[in-house]
Amino acid sequence: MKIKGLLLGMFACAALVSCTNDDIVEESGNGQVLKGDGYIAVEFSMAGNGGGRAATLGDFQDAEAAEVKVTSATFFFLDASGNSCATPFTIEGDLLNPWEDGSGSIDETSSPVIVMENPTATPASIVAILNPITPIKNTTTMYSLSQLQAADLALDYRILTEGNFVMSNSVYMDANGAPVVGAPVSASNIKKTEEEAKTDPNPVKIPVEKVVAKVDMVAGQNVKGNNEEQKIDGGDLTTITAVIKGWWLDNTNLKSYLIKNIETSWTYNWWNDLNNKRSYWATSVEGTLEHGSYNDNTTAAKYCLENTSETAHTKMVVAAELQIDGKPASLIQWRKNLYTEDGFKTQIANMAEVRNYYICTNPDAAEAEDKEYVSLKKDNLDFAYNTTSNPDVTDKDWQAIVKVKAKTPQIYTISVVSGEKIATPVTQETVNASFKNIATFKYWNEGRTYFYTDIEHNGNICGIVRNHLYKLTINSITGFGTPVPDPDKEIIPEKPTDDENSYIAAKVEILSYKVVSQSVDLN
């Protein structure tokens, strides 16, 4: 579907000073050169339809209106060597709207007219940046193609409000194996007046794509949560259900190249799509990756930047809650047995290592021999685990240890010397240090747990590529997942070392957004 939106009012001032009646292009001994400013009609299009392939790489899906609204655009004019040959041109305002829902091979198109000012040569191609941010927006810097593709312009392009989604030329490989970045321009595209440009039947066609990718998750038809029966505190079998609460992304890139970087040497048979002027793989920026916490989980679709690292894959992390009778259940697993918090404290309080610590029940007694002591009880015990401010309590973030409650009275050890009972005070720090050697355990605090899966791009190749929609369908959940003692602490997803029974099964489906579909079984 096409919309011819000629945006000429804003160019009135430029028109007054643009062209003379002389030809805009003349021949010289060195080929064609420009004699003055020129008008060029350009036509944007987003994403063509294409054949499906399996993550699963599938068909195309239209973007939401907020994702395709364009409020400004900056154009770069490049000669055959990729050098800038005119001052960049910027237009602003509600430019290419409304873009109607697309269908067929092109999502949306719109055709403004742009002015090429101060040309030094006839352009061979145009690069357009839609909804640009600093330093591109309103720039007069004559960036070359290599500069536009370079790491200096690798920035955080996650500007996700309406009219601010950054877009750039679609990049692909031509029939001769050469990369196509700028949209080709010929001398016939350059007009003397805006009226000529308005009526040009063959505008410069610029396919564009969003710099961000989009990820969405849905639970499969039969996935409410897995039901597992386990004995808790050594009692009867109890049904425990893992219920999905939301999800977040892990290992997301903080920066992206402004224009997609490709390698023409790639041997995959699926990455280049000349017919649709698109490509489905990219080289991503290497750098620090971002993680999330349990409290970052939501059910909404999420945007992220390209990440095609061979090792540090972007992951979908599913937040779940272990429930008993529909209520969150704090559970502990120690020595392959499940406990409630109270049941586990009772178990620990009965161990000799704990019973050797005492508190005085009558500290005001005048004589030492009159004082009475009892071993620590379960009510004196609490749990400690890694937090953002104290990250080194245990080796792993999913672990917890026993500690003494902060308000516990003075603790003693008792010894008998020559028949006399001697009470020696000890600090809570000393007691807690000894407890650390008693038990390190899995702690599903308030039932919080997570499952995760790498996001697949095509088959077993993992990655995130711009302008793709990754739709992950959760087919099943198995096991209890990885415990989350502290929901605020940043999580680097991992499975407990002794956990071979937790799984997530998901199907990824990859869409003008190219859709990648993936089904996942969580475990």
Which alpha helices (H) appear in 283-427, and where do they start and end? 341-349, 352-355
- DSSP annotation of 135 reads T
Burial (CB count within 10 angstroms: exposed 0-12, middle 13-18, buried 19+), residue 92: middle
Structure confidence at residue 505 (pLDDT): 66
As beta bridge partners, residue 46 has 208
Distance (Å) of CA 225 to CA 173, 281, 379, 479: 45, 34, 33, 10
C-alpha count within 13 angstroms, C-beta hemisphere, residue 246 = 14
Q: Are residues 249 and 267 in the same domain?
A: yes
pLDDT above 80 (res 16): no
Q: Are residues 201 and 68 in the same domain?
A: yes
Structure confidence at residue 104 (pLDDT): 29
Q: Are residues 286 and 341 in the same domain?
A: no
Q: Are residues 295 and 401 in the same domain?
A: no
pLDDT above 70 (res 511): no
Q: Are residues 323 and 380 in the same domain?
A: no
Site of tokens 């002794």: 498
Residue 186 lies in a domain: yes
Among residues 360, 392, 358, 390, the alpha carbon closest in space to that of 376 is found at: 358
Structure confidence at residue 95 (pLDDT): 54
Structure confidence at residue 96 (pLDDT): 52
Structure confidence at residue 101 (pLDDT): 42
pLDDT tens digit sequence for 103-115: 323 344 556 788 9
Structure confidence at residue 10 (pLDDT): 29
Confidence category of residue 476, pLDDT binned at 50, 70, 90: confident
Residue type, 354: V
pLDDT above 60 (res 30): no
What is the enclosing helix (H) or strand (E) of 14?
helix 12-16
Which of the listed residues 427, 445, 463 is the one where a domain comes to its end? 445
Q: Are residues 289 and 348 in the same domain?
A: no
Residue 84 lies in a domain: yes
Confidence category of residue 246, pLDDT binned at 50, 70, 90: very high
Spatial separation of the C-alpha atoms in residues 278 and 265, rounded to whole Å: 16
Residue 242 lies in a domain: yes
Domain count, the chain: 3
Burial (CB count within 10 angstroms: exposed 0-12, middle 13-18, buried 19+), residue 500: exposed
Q: What are 60's two structure tokens?
A: 């195309």
Confidence category of residue 62, pLDDT binned at 50, 70, 90: low
Q: Are residues 76 and 177 in the same domain?
A: yes
Confidence category of residue 26, pLDDT binned at 50, 70, 90: low
Strands 252-253 and 514-522: unpaired
Q: Are residues 203 and 64 in the same domain?
A: yes
Name which residue leads in pLDDT, 441 or 502: 441
Residue 26 lies in a domain: no
Q: Are residues 225 and 322 in the same domain?
A: yes
**% of the chain surpassing 70 pLDDT:** 81
Spatial separation of the C-alpha atoms in residues 286 and 280, rounded to whole Å: 19
- The average pLDDT across 418-426 equals 89
Residue 3 lies in a domain: no
Confidence category of residue 222, pLDDT binned at 50, 70, 90: low
pLDDT above 80 (res 15): no
Confidence category of residue 305, pLDDT binned at 50, 70, 90: very high
Which of the listed residues 445, 465, 492 is the one where a domain comes to its end? 445
Residue 347 lies in a domain: yes
Q: Are residues 317 and 458 in the same domain?
A: yes
pLDDT tens digit sequence for 367-394: 878 899 999 999 999 999 999 999 999 9
**% of the chain surpassing 90 pLDDT:** 62
pLDDT tens digit sequence for 127-172: 999 999 999 999 999 999 999 999 999 999 999 999 899 999 999 9
pLDDT above 70 (res 3): no
Which of the listed residues 445, 460, 492 is the one where a domain comes to its end? 445
Residue 321 lies in a domain: yes
pLDDT above 60 (res 52): no
Residue 19 lies in a domain: no
- The average pLDDT across 271-300 equals 95
Structure confidence at residue 12 (pLDDT): 29
- The average pLDDT across 333-357 equals 93
State the greatest distance between any 2 C-alpha atoms of the chain, in Å, as a whole number.
Answer: 119
- The average pLDDT across 279-300 equals 96
- Is the distance from CB of 301 to CB of 212 less than 8 angstroms? no
Confidence category of residue 514, pLDDT binned at 50, 70, 90: low
Name which residue leads in pLDDT, 481 or 52: 481
Q: What are 474's two structure tokens?
A: 């959760």
Domain holding 289: CATH number? 2.60.40
Q: Are residues 69 and 159 in the same domain?
A: yes
CB neighbours (10 Å) of residue 195?
12
Specify the 3-state DSSP secondary structure of 91.
strand
The residue range of the domain holding 469 is: 213-327+450-517
Distance (Å) of CA 124 to CA 81, 184, 185, 224: 9, 6, 5, 56
As beta bridge partners, residue 81 has none
Spatial separation of the C-alpha atoms in residues 158 and 126, rounded to whole Å: 24
Structure confidence at residue 224 (pLDDT): 60
Confidence category of residue 497, pLDDT binned at 50, 70, 90: confident
Q: Are residues 322 and 334 in the same domain?
A: no
Name which residue leads in pLDDT, 127 or 508: 127
